[in-house]
Amino acid sequence: MTLTDYQKELLDGKHGEAREMAMKCLYDIGLYNNAEKFIEILYCHDDSTVYFGEAQVLFAEHLAKIGAEFAVPTSTNACALDMKRWEYQRHEISWMTATRRIEASHLKLGAAACFTCTPYQAGFVPAFGQDIACAESSVIAYYNSVVGARTNRYGGPLELLAGIAGFVPYFGLHIPENRKATGLMILGDDITEDMFNEPSIFNIIAYTFGKKVGDRVWALEQIPKAMTMDQLKQFSATVASSGGIALYHLIGITPEAPTREAIINDIKNVETVTIGLKDLYETEQEFSNMNETGQIDLISLGCPHFSFAEFMEVDKYFGDNKVCAKTEFWVFTSRTTYKVAHDSGLLDRIKAKGIKVFVDGCTMEYPTHNWGTKSIMTNSGKFATYCFNKVGVHPVFGSLEECVKTAIEGKVIKRRKPWWI
Ligand code: F3S
Mutate to test the pocket of ligand 1, among 47, 51, 364 (most ligand atoms within 8 A of CB): 364
Q: To the nearest 10°, report the CA torsion of 359, 363, 365, 367.
A: 90
Residue 290 is predicted with a pLDDT of 66
Entry pTM: 0.96
Q: What is the pLDDT of residue 391?
A: 64
Atom of ligand 1 nearest to the CA of 138: 5
DSSP strand pairing (328-333 vs 356-359): parallel
Ligand 1 centroid to Cα of residue 332, in Å, is: 9
Instruction: Please give the pLDDT value at position 394.
Output: 82
Query: What is the rounded CA–CA span in Å between residue 256 and residue 59?
Result: 37
Maximum alpha-carbon separation in the chain? 67
Ligand 1 centroid to Cα of residue 57, in Å, is 20
**Which residue minimizes the CA distance to atom 2 of ligand 1?**
362
Contacts of 120 (CB under 8 A, 6+ apart): 139, 142, 143, 146, 147
Q: Which residue has the CA at smallest separation from atom 3 of ligand 1?
A: 303
Compute, in angstroms, the gap from residue 236 CA to the centroid of ligand 1. 12
Q: Atom 1, ligand 1: which residue's CA is nearest?
A: 304
Secondary structure (H, E, C), the chain: CECCHHHHHHHCCCCCHHHHHHHHHHHHHHHHCCCCEEEECCCEEECCCCCCCHHHHHHHHHHHHCCCCCCCCEEECCECCCCCCCCCCCCCHHHHHHHHHHHHHHHHCCCECCCCCCHHHCCCCCCCCCECEECCHHHHHHHHHHHCCECCECCCCHHHHHHHHCEEECCHHHCHHHHCECEEEEECCCCCHHHHHCCCHHHHHHHHHHHHHCCCCEEEECCCCCCCHHHHHHHHHHHHHHCCCCCEEECCCCCCCCCHHHHECCCCCCEEEEECHHHHHHHHHHHCCCCCCCCCCEEEEEEEEECHHHHHHHHHHHCCCCCCCCCEEEEEECHHHHHHHHHCCHHHHHHHCCCEEEECECHHHCCHHHHCCCEEEECCHHHHHHHHHHHCCEEEECCHHHHHHHHHHCCCCCCCCCCCC
373 Cβ contact list (under 8 Å, min separation 6): 297, 298, 366, 393
Per-residue pLDDT of the chain (421 residues; tens, 9 = 90+): 999 999 999 999 999 999 999 999 999 999 999 999 999 999 999 999 999 999 999 999 999 999 999 999 999 999 999 999 999 999 999 999 999 999 999 999 999 999 999 999 999 999 999 999 999 999 999 999 999 999 999 988 999 999 999 999 999 999 999 999 999 999 999 999 999 999 999 999 999 999 999 999 999 999 987 899 999 999 999 999 999 999 999 999 999 999 999 999 999 999 999 999 999 999 988 877 766 667 899 999 999 999 999 999 999 999 999 999 989 999 999 999 999 999 999 999 999 999 999 999 999 998 988 998 888 999 999 988 887 666 668 889 999 999 999 999 998 999 999 998 8
Amino acid type, 218? W
| Closest ligand 1 atom, residue 364 Cα | 7
Q: What CA–CA distance (Å, rounded) separates 189 from 101?
A: 54
Residues with CB under 6 A from ligand 1: 78, 117, 136, 138, 237, 303-304, 332, 362-364, 382
187 phi/psi in degrees, rounded to 5: -90, 135
CA angle 119, 121, 126 (to 5 degrees): 60
Q: How many CB atoms lie within 10 A of CB 51?
A: 21
**What is the rounded CA–CA span in Å between residue 263 and residue 178?**
11
pLDDT of 369: 87
pLDDT of 23 reads 98
